[in-house]
Amino acid sequence: MATPLSADQLLKALRDEGLEVVEHRSWRTNNRNHKGLWGPAHGVMIHHTVTSGTASSVELCYNGHSALPGPLCHGVIAKDGTVHLVGNGRANHAGSGDDDVLRAVVAERELPADNEASTDGNRHFYGFECVNLGDGKDPWPAAQLLAIERAAAALCRAHGWSQRSVIGHLEWQPGKVDPRGFTMNSMRSRIGKRLGSSADGPAEPPPTKPRYEPFPGAAFFKAGRNSPVVTAMGRRLVAEGCGRYAVGPGPKWSEADRKSYAAWQRKCGYTGTAADGIPGKTSWDRLRVPNT
**106, exposed or middle or buried, with CB in 10 Å at 0-12, 13-18, 19+?**
middle
What are 181-218's pLDDT values in tens digits?
999 999 999 999 999 999 888 866 656 666 899 999 99
- What is the DSSP track for 192-212? HHHHTS------SPPPPPPSB
Overall pTM > 0.85:
no
The span from the CA of 133 to the CA of 33, in Å, is 29
Length of the chain: 292
Domain ranges of the chain: 7-195, 218-287
> Would you tell me which CATH number, out of the four given (3.40.80.10, 1.10.10.1100, 3.65.10.10, 3.30.70.330), belongs to the domain 7-195?
3.40.80.10
Please give the mean pLDDT across all residues of the chain.
Answer: 95
Torsion of CA 167, 171, 172, 177, to 10 degrees: 110
Give pLDDT, residue 248. Answer: 86
Segment (H or E) for 21: strand 21-23
Comparing C-alpha atoms, which of 169, 148, 141 is closest to residue 80? 141
pLDDT, average across residues 163-168: 98
3-state SS class at 22 = strand
81 pLDDT exceeds 90? yes
